[in-house]
Amino acid sequence: MASNETRSSKSVVWMKEVKTVSLVAAPMVAATLLQYLGYFLSTLMVGHLDDQLSLSAASIATAFSLVTGFTLLVSPSSVSSFPLPFCFSVLPTLIGWRDCNMQAGMAGGLETLCGQAYGAGQHQKLATYTYSAVASMTLLCFPISILWLFFTNKLLILTGQDHSISNLARSYSICLIPGLFAYALLQPMIRFFQTQSLLLPVLFSSLAAICVHVPLCWVLVFRTRLGCIGAGLSTSVSTWANTILLGTYMVCSPKCAETMAEFRWKDVLVESWAFLRFAVPSAIMTCLEWWSFDVLILLSGLLPNPKLETSVLSICFSISYMHSTIPLGFAATISTRVSNELGAGNAKAAKLAMKVVMVLLATELVVIILPLLFLRHFLGYAFSSDKEIVDYVATMAPFLCLQCITDALQAVLSGVVRGSGKQKLGAFVNLGAYYLVGTPLAAILAFVAHLRGKGLLIGISTGAGLQASLFAVTIVLTNWEQQASKSRERIFRGGEPEGP
């Protein structure tokens, strides 16, 4: 009888955690998808101008801004000067959605600080940490803006880009500068809400921003003489719309009353140092991972028949990025749950949350990966009518599925790393997994073993698999009771992030 009651009690606790995780993950997945759509639709509309110069310039400008700005605060390599299929030209935008990297990477430091502060009941520290993040990231926007304003075309020309494309890309990048500053406010605010499991405001503000973006982009691109420049302007406007809506809710909503605090420069300056100790390794951790995909795009352009290889690889990555909205939602959820429970001193609850998310992830992978395999002969038609491309996508599908699985695993485990404050370790793991193993292996398989695009996917999947394995070993070996004590000490007294 006692045994049955124990099992029943465990089942109730498990189902309660499943509900908690689902209520956080669902709106986070939807919000991530909406942010992706903003990047995607801009380039899609430019593509319908039937102007190769505009499409190439918009794609290259998006890639450049994501590598040097959004990736550095939030990509792939610049598009070659010869005409490429549309699906490759749109690739920088697809990567761009996911690569809101050094801004999103730096904001990842808040997942540790705000999450653990909220769990520890130090609610007003959330606002102070958020103010510190906004101040730090806004300052970083100024040198990036100077780079975009004066050096975009010069740097692109140095990489071998066409002069006319480079000059138009500079104009497009200048239109993204206002959005860069908006992003420096938006990303910390998203983490402010995320770490409280308050995701509906993020979802609705993202939805409202898309509702602004789509008609505005259409008008500016097709009904004015701005052309592709209109897409850049609409992106900045919609980002500001998202930021203003979320900021208004943050300041005015009674649900944020406990976590808001008066802005004091002294507190902001003091906590900025605490934020940067987590934000810098978090940004490095994120950028090291995603810059490796830029290297793959560069390598694909060196393969025989580069137009085919880059087109097919872009389709594979497009599918992978669309799928990754779900693992990224789980990653944000587990980061929040782990940081909250560690801050509250509940090591067992943190471990339970990890188990629940991994089970949900495994279920999601089965539901998504099997149809991808069965429909592999039709996948390519969603992107191209070229039979050669469609057939090549079908042969790449098993390796694409492998990449989706390893990428999903590393994404969720990276969320645990951020939630527990182990960003320094994460940066070292990513450096080794992608630059000592994944990328070199991809090059060897593609060029020496003559596996071409398959080799590139196998290499990057191996890197992601190694990354996930090392994170998993770290998580298993972690003393979570001790970790909870360290987290509470960090919040109440201040402390350094976890070392490697």
Per run of 10 residues, the mean pLDDT along the chain (length 500 residues) is 65 87 88 78 72 68 67 39 36 40 74 91 91 92 91 82 82 90 93 92 94 93 87 92 96 92 86 88 84 76 78 81 87 93 92 94 95 91 83 94 95 94 93 95 94 93 97 94 87 58
- Rounded Cα–Cα distance for residues 221 and 231 (Å): 6
Sequence spans of domains, the chain: 10-493
- pLDDT for res 101: 54
Closest C-alpha to 279, from 86, 110, 451: 110
What is the three-class DSSP state of 183? helix
- The structure's pTM equals 0.84
Closest C-alpha to 110, from 351, 300, 271: 271
- Rounded Cα–Cα distance for residues 83 and 102 (Å): 30
End-to-end CA distance of the chain: 47
- pLDDT for res 204: 95
Angle CA 114–119–124, to nearest 5: 55
% helix, strand, coil for the chain, step of 5: 85, 0, 15
- Rounded Cα–Cα distance for residues 486 and 343 (Å): 9
- pLDDT for res 251: 93
